Chains A and B, each alone.
Chain A
């Protein structure tokens, strides 16, 4: 079998083609918003947010069944509520921020599992939510991903200099009289939308890898924010494609294949950086 056949033969299946498109789009959106997640030290927030939406999805699943397009709306709604909720909690002073997030995140995650476990086929369904089901992406889901992913990218581009300023120096942003709270909440909302969009590709358990890993890899290769974003998007898209090929030829679960590819690229970048600095 030559290399062309090797590359094209999975794509004759429509579900592989759709999965590939979904993985690339989700990778790009995650990487771009993930750049801010990495720079602002919000990896734990991203991880918590992804897990916190599980009860929302579970509720949607119990009410309206396993239709992914409908579950997307449940995920989106829960993610936005959860991200603004966690954002508000991190401002209170009674309990330390990471402790508060940890408590809520584990509690909500447990609630989600409890809800799903009331259904007979729960092991299969749960694993789809946890680890994604990119090969089951429908045409309709693909549309939802591209529309909402596109909105996220457009907003990031439109507010690029404001997001950069509030991330680097919030006090400067305040003295320039930017609405810092509003912009922070907008960024939290964008992360929430990204999480909802990515749900079917990698699932809640591996979501943080999509947000953080490509952006972290890119951060080792450049000192410019715009370059870092573009590099992260390329790395993420590449990981999505390579991961799906690995998944196809070695029968590995697709979400984990994508994340493992991204992790491998991070290690390569890390080694390159180490060798260069010697």
Chain B
């Protein structure tokens, strides 16, 4: 239990090659290729069912791909404990009888090892990361007494307690009001200094373009993966290809991708 591994720092933190995943014969992800450097912050944008959660689960080593290779700093994800997967809030049992500090301490399980109880040093560490996410006052709260934004910040604290180097956040902004979204994004910005690589799944391309180094447009395949300025520029180009891409040029200037997908148009996006 609880393996340890040495990172090869000259390798990308995450390298994905020819990745394909199928669920019950349906394609969830097809021919995914990309890599991330240490400290990068990437938004993965795509509609529901585009394969964002699947991609994160494969990267975390929780789900095995049908095809392709994922490496974390040069080795198989399964030997790493430094990958934090932060679940969608709807996937969590908020009535579970634990408080905020308990949940954050769960992230330290691997560092603690078997049959060991947390020492004062571990509790100090937990308090320290709770300070980082500004939840010190709420450390003894039962988790269902937190607001949505506080719940997300608790999971970030847990990832920090895990000493995660790659943080995968599944739709953390969904269901939060704008101030809570902004404060969460600000928190992610302050983590920049800690060399934590962050991948965030989101619907909101415009917001993503303001806070992330690169944006991946995903709909079973990678449509484009580039700096925000280029991804935003492709907007019209994307719009030109098929009804499944549309821009709602309202107040929020959203670009969304439709769920309905059609195979042969996909290739052309890759030549943009």
Q: Give A residues with C-beta under 8 Å from B.
A: 39, 158, 161-162, 164-165, 167-169, 171-172, 174-179, 219, 222-225, 227-228
Contacts and interface: CB of A to CB of B under 8 A. Distances in A.
Given A161-B106, A165-B109, A179-B1, A174 B98 contact: no
A178 B1 contact: yes
Contacts of A219: 97
Contacts of A165: 106, 109
Contacts of B102: 224-225
B115 A177 contact: no
Contacts of B57: 171
Given A171-B62, A176-B109, A158 B115 contact: yes
A222 B98 CA distance: 10
B171 to A, nearest CB: 14
14 contacts: A164-B106, A168-B93, A169-B92, A171-B85, A171-B87, A174-B60, A175-B61, A176-B110, A177-B78, A177-B80, A177-B81, A178-B109, A223-B97, A227-B97
Give the bracket for the number of chain B residues in contact with chain A: 20 to 34
Contacts of A222: 97
Nearest to A178: B1
B73 interface: no
A129 B102 CA distance: 41
A175 B97 contact: no
Contacts of B84: 175
Interface of B: 1-3, 57, 60-62, 78-81, 83-85, 87, 92-93, 96-99, 102-103, 106-107, 109-110, 112, 114-115, 117, 142, 158, 162
Interface SS of A by simple majority: helix
A126 to B, nearest CB: 39
A161 B112 contact: yes
Contacts, number: 78
Contacts of B110: 176-177
Contacts of A227: 97
A224 B109 contact: no
Nearest to A162: B109
A226 to B, nearest CB: 9
Contact of B87 (A158, A169, A176, A223): A169
Nearest to B107: A172
Contacts of A228: 97
Contacts of A164: 98, 106
B106 A225 contact: no
B99 A175 contact: no
B96 A39 contact: yes
Contacts of A174: 60-62
B163 to A, nearest CB: 11
Contacts of A172: 85, 106-107, 158
Contacts of B117: 161
Contacts of A169: 87, 92, 106
